[in-house]
Amino acid sequence: MQIKRLDLKLGFACNNNCLSCPQAHRRHLGDLTTAEVKKLLKEGREDGANEVVLTGGEPTVRPDIVEIVAYAKQLGYDFIQLQTNGRMLYYKDFCKKLIKAGVTEFAPAIHGPNARIHDYLVQSPGAFEQAVQGIKNLKELGQYIIMNSVINKINYKYLPETAKLFVDLNVDQYQFAFIHCVGNAKKNMDLLCPKKSEVMPYVHRALDIGIEAGIKVMVEAYPFCFMRGYEKYCSELYMPPAEIRDAEGVIENFDKLRKETGKLKGPQCKHCKYDLICEGPWREYPEKFGWSEFKPVPGPKVRDPKEILGEEEE
């Protein structure tokens, strides 16, 4: 079955104020009404979407979130992912309501191995404790959990410890995403954006921890030239076609937008074996740091992602 995913931003209200939030500059737009959300869900189905990711802002602070999930299920979405900072999952009865309504996958975010780092990055004391308990609640309820964690200058040396936390929590998958410097992250770029080459060994170690534990792992916005031996863990290889709907309208082909305007390729990229399938970094990164870190990988051009998935690790 052809997968088409709807990324539905329910609004921009949130109970955190993450230093790296890429949506913070849109908070003035507020939240969609229940009727507006239902309309977008219905239009998504009519356009052929069979999966939906409910995101924000923070979806779980909406009083109608259970109703929204139930409506998505009623429309026939066979995959309903809830992206969340995890704090409201602290309340087990709330978790049960979401599950009963139809959530099939939970995607909470933790950005460090302890409260000191995570709570600072999300600017909310107690957030780490709530999110960790929320994950434990979901595991007790038999749910599939994919963790998200944003790589930044504050936490990158602790990525292996964060990976160990995820393994200890028995999550099903975890993903590290290199910081996208828009919104709050743009405002805090000097504080938060590290050099990819300095972060690289910590990323590899953090992936190894999950690989050895038999957990599915990925990293996002880390071009293949930094991932030698780990190429098959680049999340861009697995992203299904998606459209985005929110208060500002519809992006029918996010894949195209991400590649053509969100990310950037450097002059040396055309000499790399991965040039034809690599998206490059978020454009804000080379605009600040240049292209000197990006070293073309020699070899015949890879024309299909399947070639990577079949390669032996170097």
Closest CA to 150 of 175, 171, 125: 175
What CA–CA distance (Å, rounded) separates 145 from 195?
Answer: 29
What CA–CA distance (Å, rounded) separates 209 from 219?
Answer: 13
Contact 55, 32 (CB under 8 A): no
pLDDT at 31: 92
Helix (H, G, I), strand (E, B) or coil at 274: coil
Phi/psi zone of residue 296: left (φ > 0), alpha (ψ -120 to 50 degrees), beta? beta
| Domain residue spans of the chain | 5-261
pLDDT at 300: 95
Please name the residue that has the structure tokens 């861009």.
236
What CA–CA distance (Å, rounded) separates 148 from 176?
Answer: 6
pLDDT at 29: 78
pLDDT at 59: 97
Helix (H, G, I), strand (E, B) or coil at 74: helix
pLDDT at 258: 76
pLDDT at 314: 37
pLDDT at 259: 72
pLDDT at 251: 59
pLDDT in tens, 127-185: 999 999 999 999 999 999 999 999 999 999 999 999 999 999 999 999 999 999 999 99
Rounded average pLDDT per 10-residue block, the chain, 314 residues: 85 94 82 95 93 95 98 97 98 98 98 98 98 98 98 98 98 98 95 98 98 97 96 90 68 64 92 95 96 97 88 42
Give the number of other Cβ atoms within 10 Å of residue 129's Cβ: 14
243: phi then psi, degrees, rounded to nearest 5: -120, 150
CATH second-level architecture of 5-261? Answer: Alpha-Beta Barrel (3.20)
pLDDT at 15: 95
Helix (H, G, I), strand (E, B) or coil at 268: helix
Q: Of all helices (H) and strands (E), which one includes residue 246?
A: strand 242-246
pLDDT at 115: 98
